[in-house]
Amino acid sequence: MTDGNPIATDRARQTIASYPDYAQAQSAVDYLSDQKFAVQHLSIVGEGLRLVEQVTGRKGYGSAALSGAVSGAATGALLGFVLGLLSLINPVASALVVAFYGLLIGAVLGAVFGLVGHMATGGRRDFSSVGGMQAERYDVLADASVAEEARRLLAERR
């Protein structure tokens, strides 16, 4: 029983192919779809997961303030524009004026919060990074009832 969760399954599954990267596994499933295979019986499962964090640069007070200012400016402008549209007298002009002031106030507040947040780390994280999950391999699994057909179709692909 899956309890409504489309990912959890108690069906018997078999590995029909393994690939070193996700793009190849995705391509295999796309190929099966092109062959009119019932792809709802397939899953792509990453095996040997690990967290990889790519360091993108140093993060000092300037970059903390700048990233906070950009984020705050975007949020302030959007919020100001939406609130300005609620004006009864010339909503478009009001929206642009309020968006401009929202951008300015948001940039200042964002910069302050960015600096305070950076100072709160006490120098323990003076770098910026982007993280993501990576797998050693990606297995394409199929329900046991259709696994042999999927293997046959993938063998024809090669």
Rounded CA-CA distance 12/87 in Å is: 60
Residue 1 domain-assigned (yes or no)? no
Kindly state whether residues 83 and 97 are assigned to the same domain: yes
Kindly state whether residues 127 and 139 are assigned to the same domain: no
Each residue's pLDDT tens digit, 94-141: 899 999 999 999 999 999 999 999 999 887 888 888 999 999 999 999
Tell me the average pLDDT across 78-90: 89
Q: How many domains does the chain have?
A: 2
∠ CA 86-87-93, nearest 5°, is 110
Rounded CA-CA distance 83/77 in Å is: 10
pLDDT at 10 over 70: no
Kindly state whether residues 85 and 120 are assigned to the same domain: yes
Kindly state whether residues 105 and 89 are assigned to the same domain: yes
Better pLDDT: 123 or 28:
28
Confidence band of 91 (pLDDT split at 50, 70, 90) = confident
Domain span at residue 82 reads 55-131
pLDDT for the residue 9: 55
Kindly state whether residues 61 and 126 are assigned to the same domain: yes
Residue 121 domain-assigned (yes or no)? yes
Q: Which residues contact 128 (CB under 8 A, 6 or more apart)?
A: 55, 56, 57, 58, 59, 63, 67
Kindly state whether residues 83 and 65 are assigned to the same domain: yes
What does pTM read for this prediction? Answer: 0.57
Rounded CA-CA distance 156/150 in Å is: 10
Residue 97 domain-assigned (yes or no)? yes
Kindly state whether residues 36 and 63 are assigned to the same domain: no
